[in-house]
């Protein structure tokens, strides 16, 4: 009987620990809890670590850091409403676990599948001074999810793991055709699972493991990204692309549900709020801080892709590969305007796009989408119209006008 009671107690403890991540948004990833500021009697350690029966390094309950993350944030994980493998945020169940209802689709795409409407992009021409400019929208894909064609953590047979790859453009300018060092990346490369008070718990200085002969060169300074306030207990943040007219990007999941919008609402391009705004302060910032988000998130991406920094397309760089570069500064367009952070299902089927080599000439997998949000090189046409034949007010793409939450 005593043994039976111990088994029941152990089972109850496991159920309790499995539910830890959904106490409130941030779950166990809250700095004040894990730093000891909130008291040294924190309970969240046991959700991920075991002192004597660990299955992975750092005393993790799973075989790797990424596998540990996916126990909550994966397809079958119940410890979080966010499924990063398929780019879905579910609603919060009454018992504090992941419900089956889909709240919406995440901004970062997914590592295994994603539902980015990469073939359904639409743009609207508008007049800015004497120039005709373009506004774009990338909706949720109407026909369901597709397998990813590129991801920061590629999957093998649908199984996500740590990934060896090139940190493109990392390091100083080079007169030889040096694309960047080979490194190993996992979830904790970019995110701090213990919490750090930063947006999406991003590490101010990502540190991938070196697996090649060339060193990874970190940026000169940290790149913190300011976070919005935590959601209250019993609620979660909105990590989806659903937005409201003039919204700040910091909606709670409960507020999204209250909007009465379908889970397929929102815009992956997210250049403006709403997508067809042509004036006013309408740049989207998912942390609610539009005055600083573009600079901060661009600086963060550039901690790894250091040679992507450029003040303009006509600026010649002293580099054999990255000689001319699209504008990518800490004060202009942010990197995630064009790219998603986790994985994209964009289809590269045109001859040029499908057979695009990696920087330096190495062959890439046919159809690799480079984490872009639109099929082929539609990302270029989302902003640019080089012929000068499109007039203000002309819409190119699907009709009727896409849903604007």
The reported pLDDT for the residue numbered 9 is 41
Q: What is the C-alpha end-to-end distance of the chain, expressed in Å? A: 58
Compute the Cα dihedral for 51, 57, 63, 65 and give only its sign: positive
20 pLDDT band (50/70/90 cuts)?
Answer: very low
Give pLDDT, residue 280: 62
Q: Please report the pLDDT score of residue 330 as a whole number.
A: 58
Is pLDDT larger for residue 219 or for residue 26? 219
Cα 125 versus chain centre, distance: 28
Least confident among 9-13, 31-35, 78-82, 331-335? 9-13
Q: Is the pLDDT of residue 18 over 50?
A: no
Regarding predicted confidence, which is higher, 357 or 97? Answer: 357
Distance CA 379, CA 369 (A): 11
Residue 366: pLDDT band with limits 50, 70, 90? very high
Contacts of 318 (CB under 8 A, 6+ apart): 173, 175
Question: How long is the chain?
Answer: 405
Window from 257-261, 290-294, 383-387 with minimum mean pLDDT? 290-294
Tens of pLDDT, residues 147-173: 999 999 999 888 998 789 999 999 999
Q: From CA 304, how far away is CA 208, in angstroms rounded?
A: 9
Rounded Cα–Cα distance for residues 52 and 49 (Å): 9
Task: Decide which of 364 and 250 is more confident.
Answer: 364
Determine the Cα–Cα distance for residues 293 and 187; give it in Å rounded to an integer. Answer: 22
Q: What angle do CA 264, 269, 273 make, to 5 degrees?
A: 85
- 353: tokens are 């796009």
Closest alpha carbon to 187 in 84, 115, 258, 262: 84
Of the two residues 176 and 400, the one the predictor is more confident about is 176
Residue 272, pLDDT > 60, answer yes
**pLDDT given for residue 6 in this prediction:** 40
pLDDT tens digit sequence for 184-233: 999 999 999 999 999 999 999 998 999 989 999 999 999 999 998 888 88
pLDDT at 5 over 90: no
Mean pLDDT, residues 242-260 taken together: 84
User: Domain residues of the chain, as ranges?
Assistant: 2-105
The DSSP letter of residue 137 is E
Residue whose pair of structure tokens reads 């047979």 in the numeric block: 157
How confident is the model over 60-89, as pLDDT tens digits? 999 999 999 999 999 999 889 999 999 999
Q: Is the pLDDT of residue 106 over 90?
A: yes
Question: 98 is written with which tokens?
Answer: 């992941």
Residue partners of 377: CB distance under 8 A and separation at least 6:
350, 352, 353
Please state, for a pLDDT cut of 70, what percent of the chain lies above it: 90
Other beta carbons within 10 angstroms of residue 164's beta carbon come to: 13
Q: Would you say residue 59 has pLDDT above 90?
A: yes
- Residues 6+ positions from 41 with CB-CB distance below 8 Å: none
> Tell me, what's the pLDDT at 167?
96
- Mean model confidence pLDDT for the chain: 87
């Amino acid at each position: 009987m005593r043994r039976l009671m111990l088994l029941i107690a152990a089972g109850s403890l496991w159920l309790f620990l499995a539910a830890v991540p959904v106490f409130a948004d941030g779950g166990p990833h809250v700095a004040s809890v894990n730093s000891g500021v909130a008291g040294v009697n924190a309970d969240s350690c046991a959700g991920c670590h075991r002192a004597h029966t660990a299955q992975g390094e750092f005393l993790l309950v799973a075989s790797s850091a990424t596998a540990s993350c996916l126990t909550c944030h994966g397809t079958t994980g119940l410890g979080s409403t966010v499924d990063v493998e398929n780019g879905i945020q579910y609603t919060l169940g009454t018992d504090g676990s992941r419900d089956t209802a889909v709240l919406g689709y995440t901004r970062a795409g997914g590592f295994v599948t994603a539902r980015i409407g990469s073939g359904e992009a639409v743009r609207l021409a508008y007049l800015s001074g004497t120039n005709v400019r373009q506004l774009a929208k990338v909706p949720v894909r109407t026909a369901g999810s597709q397998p990813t064609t590129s991801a920061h953590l590629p999957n093998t047979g649908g199984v996500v793991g740590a990934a060896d790859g090139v940190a493109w453009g990392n390091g100083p300018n080079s007169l030889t055709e040096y694309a960047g060092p080979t490194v190993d990346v996992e979830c904790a490369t970019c995110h701090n699972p213990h919490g750090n008070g930063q947006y999406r718990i991003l590490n101010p200085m990502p540190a991938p493991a070196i697996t090649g002969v060339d060193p990874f060169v970190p940026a000169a300074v940290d790149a913190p990204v300011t976070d919005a306030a935590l959601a209250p207990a019993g609620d979660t943040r909105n990590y989806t692309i659903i937005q409201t007219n003039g919204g700040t990007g910091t909606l709670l999941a409960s507020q999204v549900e209250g909007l009465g919008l379908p889970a397929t609402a929102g815009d992956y391009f997210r250049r403006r709020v709403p997508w067809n705004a042509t004036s006013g302060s309408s740049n989207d910032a998912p942390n609610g801080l539009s005055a600083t988000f573009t600079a901060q998130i661009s600086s963060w991406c550039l901690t790894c892709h250091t040679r992507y920094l450029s003040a303009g397309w006509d600026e010649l760089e002293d580099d054999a590969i990255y000689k001319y570069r699209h504008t990518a500064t800490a004060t202009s367009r942010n990197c995630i305007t064009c790219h998603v952070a986790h994985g994209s299902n964009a289809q590269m089927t045109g001859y040029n796009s499908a057979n695009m080599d990696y920087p330096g000439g190495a062959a890439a997998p046919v159809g690799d989408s480079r984490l872009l949000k639109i099929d082929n090189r539609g990302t270029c046409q989302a902003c640019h119209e080089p012929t000068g034949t499109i007039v203000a007010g002309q819409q190119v793409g699907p009709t009727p006008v896409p849903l604007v939450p």
